[in-house]
């Protein structure tokens, strides 16, 4: 029973000591400064829209004077009143919509940056997992070589092998030790790079889970029909310009009503006023509409160019992704034959004395060269894949 509890405790400990890619991405959404910036901007835009939708404050008008007519009795005069500006409902609606669309465009811009950050984190996660896998594989081979060296060291003491052969093995052992430091350094550097993008105290005592890396596939289906974040951003800017254009179609922007009581020395006066700007007396609205038409046209051309560029880049990266897959597939076949068919023969020949130590060592180096090349091809595949994600700007 104790052993069962021990195994359960070990399993829980191992699970707790790792962090998955989904956990990292969720942590980014919850706590990363850029994610919080997006949330704050959303709240700010909501407050701005409510402010623009509200009525303007009523103005209190008051003044006083001391009058001393040359003929009549002198005394104090004053006036007090209220003034209220009423915006044309169509104009006000256009202003509110324009601000709403501009705010949404700004948020989409930040969301685009955050999406690129997430893709970079995904890529670096895969790179660190590949580096860890290479390190573990290297340690296993290094341990096996150490065991071989120990056996050959005993064989040398009994005079079964020459000093030259033992020295060759010793030099190779020292080289392998240095190589292991290089692999460890690559793991540490890739991990530090990943953490520099995450910007959260998440990795202090945890290893990457690495069981959730994306499988290499010959074909990956993407939804190319949907609009990217950048295209949506341009749509919002166009909508904002259209709202501004509608604003300048009105004959007047607003009108002002005022009412006041004026007390003069010998007269009480009640005054009601109306103030209306006559837009038709100026070419301002006409020129503003022309300016907005040209800006809208510019954005539409920009969006068309963006769509064409996206399609072209996606096609090129898809071809590059397929080429990387085929290279990986071919390299795996070569490596499997070398590792499972050739190396057993080489090792057997060395043990039986049919091959020299240098031949065995060269074969081992060639095997590791093939493994390193395969890892490099995997890294290239993931680099292309997440670059493609960035080009298509796939949204979750």
Give the length of the chain: 396
Residue 9 belongs to a domain:
no
User: What is the distance between the alpha carbons of residues 170 and 390, in angstroms, rounded to a whole number?
Assistant: 48
pTM confidence score: 0.87
* Contact criterion met (CB below 8 Å) for 129 and 21: no
Position 286 in a domain: yes
Counting Cα atoms < 13 Å in the Cβ hemisphere of 151 gives 7
Question: Does the structure show a pLDDT above 70 at 14?
Answer: no
CB-based contact 82:59 (threshold 8 Å): yes
Question: pLDDT tens, 92-105?
Answer: 999 999 999 999 99
pLDDT at 395: 54
| Residue 162 domain flag | yes
Q: Is residue 2 part of a domain?
A: no
User: Residue 150 pLDDT more than 90?
Assistant: yes
Please state the domain count of the chain.
1
Residue 145, domain CATH: 1.20.1600.10
- Count CB neighbours of 181 within 10 A: 9
Tell me, yes or no, whether 1 lies in a domain: no
Domain-embedded: residue 6: no
Distance CA 231, CA 16 (A): 41
Nearest to 130 by CA among 75, 220, 218, 208: 208
What average pLDDT does range 212-237 have in this prediction? 87
Q: Of the candidates 199, 205, 145, 116, which has an alpha carbon nearest to the alpha carbon of residue 363?
A: 145
pLDDT for 233 equals 95
Alpha-helical regions (H) of the chain? 2-16, 21-31, 33-53, 89-157, 163-198, 229-247, 284-337, 343-351, 357-392
| Cα–Cα distance, 276 to 356 (Å, whole number) | 103
Quote the mean pLDDT of the chain: 89
User: Concatenated DSSP letters for 265-278?
Assistant: SS-EEEEEEEE---
Q: What is the pLDDT of residue 223?
A: 67
Strand partners of residue 260: 81, 271
- For 291-308, what is each residue's pLDDT tens digit? 999 999 999 999 999 999
Overall average pLDDT of the 96-125 stretch: 96
- Domain membership flag for residue 66: yes
Phi and psi at 325, nearest 5°, equal -60, -45
pLDDT of residue 219: 84
Q: 272 forms bridges with which residues in the sheet?
A: 259
5 lies in a domain?
Answer: no
Structural domain of residue 23, as residue ranges? 17-392
149 token code pair = 């060296």
The DSSP element (H or E) to which 59 belongs, if any, is strand 59-67
**Percent of the chain scored above 70 by pLDDT?**
93
- Asked if residue 3 has pLDDT above 50, the reply is no
Express each pLDDT in 324-375 by its tens digit: 999 999 999 999 999 999 999 999 999 888 889 999 999 999 999 999 999 9
User: Once rounded to an integer, what is the mean pLDDT over residues 43-63?
Assistant: 92
């Amino acid at each position: 029973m104790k052993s069962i509890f021990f195994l359960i405790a070990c399993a829980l400990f191992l699970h707790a000591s790792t962090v998955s890619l989904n956990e990292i991405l969720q942590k980014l959404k919850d706590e990363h400064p850029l994610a919080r910036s997006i949330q704050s901007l959303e709240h700010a835009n909501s407050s701005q829209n409510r402010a623009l939708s509200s009525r303007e404050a009523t103005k209190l008008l008051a003044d006083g004077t001391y009058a001393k007519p040359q003929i009549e009795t002198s005394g104090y005069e004053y006036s007090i009143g209220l003034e209220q500006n009423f915006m044309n409902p169509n104009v006000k609606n256009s202003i509110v919509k324009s601000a709403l669309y501009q705010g949404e465009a700004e948020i989409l811009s930040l969301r685009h940056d955050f999406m690129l950050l997430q893709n970079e984190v995904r890529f670096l996660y895969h790179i660190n997992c590949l580096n860890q896998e290479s390190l573990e594989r290297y340690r296993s081979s290094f341990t096996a070589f150490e065991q071989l060296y120990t056996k050959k060291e005993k064989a040398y003491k009994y005079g079964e092998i020459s000093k030259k052969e033992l020295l060759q093995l010793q030099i190779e052992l020292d080289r392998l030790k240095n190589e292991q430091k290089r692999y460890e350094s690559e793991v540490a550097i890739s991990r530090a790079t990943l953490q520099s993008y995450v910007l959260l105290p998440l990795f202090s005592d945890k290893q990457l889970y690495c069981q959730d890396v994306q499988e290499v596939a010959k074909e990956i289906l993407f939804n190319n029909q949907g609009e990217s974040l950048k295209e949506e951003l341009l749509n919002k800017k166009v909508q904002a310009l259209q709202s501004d254009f509608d604003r300048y179609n009105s004959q007047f922007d607003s009108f002002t009503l005022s009412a006041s009581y004026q007390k003069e020395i010998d007269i009480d006066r009640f005054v009601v006023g109306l103030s209306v700007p006559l837009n038709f007396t100026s070419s301002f609205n006409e020129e503003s509409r022309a300016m907005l038409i040209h800006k809208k046209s510019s954005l539409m051309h920009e969006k068309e160019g963006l769509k064409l560029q996206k399609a072209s880049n996606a096609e090129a990266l898809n071809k590059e992704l397929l080429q990387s897959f085929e290279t990986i597939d071919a390299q795996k076949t070569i490596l499997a034959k070398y590792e499972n068919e050739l190396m057993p023969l080489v090792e057997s020949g060395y043990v039986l004395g049919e091959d020299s130590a240098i031949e065995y060592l060269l074969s081992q180096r060639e095997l590791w060269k093939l493994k390193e090349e395969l890892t490099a091809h995997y890294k290239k595949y993931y680099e292309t894949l997440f670059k493609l994600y960035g080009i298509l700007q796939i949204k979750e």
